[in-house]
Amino acid sequence: MPLLEILRCPFCRSSLREDGDGLACVGCGRSFARAPDGIPLMLHEELPGARVKLREAEGWLEKARNEGWYEPDDTVDAVLPFVNRELGWNDSNWLANGHSFEVLLGRYIDGATGLRVLEVGAAKAWAARFWLERECEFVATDILVDEKIGLGRGAFYGDFGRVQADGENLPFGDATFDVTYCVATLHHALDLPKMVREMVRVTKPGGTVAGLNEGIRGVGRSADNPDQAGEKELGINEHVHTVWAYLSAFARAGAVVRRMERSDGWPPVPFGFFLSRVPKVGMTLGTLAHLSAARYAGVSIYARKRG
């Protein structure tokens, strides 16, 4: 289906029409430009927090240049997120991204094809190849449209929908997607419950909503994680919530959490290990106990929209 058919104004949710090089809302009349490669720019400057979010996008460019990963490498991008397995890297973050994404595909997609899938905070949109091979209609969104580390680079993975969008103000109608998920993005939200609410809103009743590999802090640990200091200095909006804050955001948004586990898939030892052996709910309860006692760690949450 053409992207324009599911795209909506993030202010009034009306449809959009082509307007010169950009788009115009048929309801409130606001205009939205397109990037030179055609990506619709739906993070409009009047949206709440737009200025700091666009500042964050600049911060990612600065971070990538400082750390030497701004220039894309086809060999790496072709195997993301499995750089440890395929290229012998030893990167705990990609390990957790890869594990959590495999759980999403294996347990919650389970061979299904033809789904409509939304990723929030997709960056380069490395996941596209997995959705396209399942004949899914994939839409990747991010605030970052850069051609090397943002959505612009998504062209490397094929032809699919790419939209600059704020996860807290998604430019889609209610109940549009079968699956809505993000990887290491919810903790960048200025308003975590709002981003989760938006992800649930655009998902069809009974659809899957997942937040993969989100950094968390143990109960009573400081919300100032020293590991995030450098990114905050660059204007990247970093937060570290407890596992309870995530659980509550999903529950209040109308999603039933089916499973929570450590994002790297390791068993919740020592705290929570025995609980994790209980059939069905055990892993979620064990993870809650384990991550409540942790210092800083990562969690993945798999939920289903009620209805």
Ligand X SMILES: C[S@@+](CC[C@H](N)C(=O)[O-])C[C@H]1O[C@@H](n2cnc3c(N)ncnc32)[C@H](O)[C@@H]1O
Q: Does 154 bind ligand X (CB under 6 A)?
A: no
Among 6, 144, 199, 260, binds ligand X (CB under 6 A): 144
CB of 91 to ligand X, least distance (A): 12
Among 176, 185, 203, 300, binds ligand X (CB under 6 A): 185
Q: Does 263 bind ligand X (CB under 6 A)?
A: no
Q: Does 301 bind ligand X (CB under 6 A)?
A: no
Query: Distance between CA 285 and CA 280 in Å, rounded?
Result: 10
Cβ proximity to ligand X: between 6 and 144 the closer is 144
Cβ proximity to ligand X: between 49 and 286 the closer is 49
Cα angle 78, 82, 85; round to 5: 115
Stretch that binds ligand X, among 19-27, 62-70, 115-123, 219-227 (CB under 6 A): 115-123
Q: Which two tokens stand for residue 89?
A: 């890297």
Q: Does 168 bind ligand X (CB under 6 A)?
A: yes
Instruction: State the pairing for strand pair 116-120/296-305.
Output: unpaired
**Alpha carbon 192 to chain centroid, angstroms:** 12
The binder of 183, among Zn ion, ligand X, none, by C-beta within 5 to 8 A per type, is: ligand X
- What residue has token string 């994790």? 276
List residues near Zn ion by CB under 5 A: 9, 11-12, 14, 25, 27-28
Q: Does 122 bind ligand X (CB under 6 A)?
A: yes
Binding flags for ligand X, 198-237, as an x/- string (CB under 6 A): ----------------------------------------
Helix pair angle (243-252, 282-293), 10° resolution:
130
Longest alpha-carbon distance in the chain: 61
Long-range contacts of 106-115 (CB under 8 A, 24+ apart): 107/259, 107/302, 108/179, 108/208, 108/210, 108/258, 108/302, 109/134, 109/179, 109/208, 115/178, 115/179
Q: Does 83 bind ligand X (CB under 6 A)?
A: no
Q: In what order do the strands lie in the sheet with 31-32?
A: 16-19, 22-25, 31-32
Binding footprint of ligand X on the chain (CB under 6 A): 53, 56-57, 60, 97, 120-123, 142-144, 166-168, 183-185, 188-189
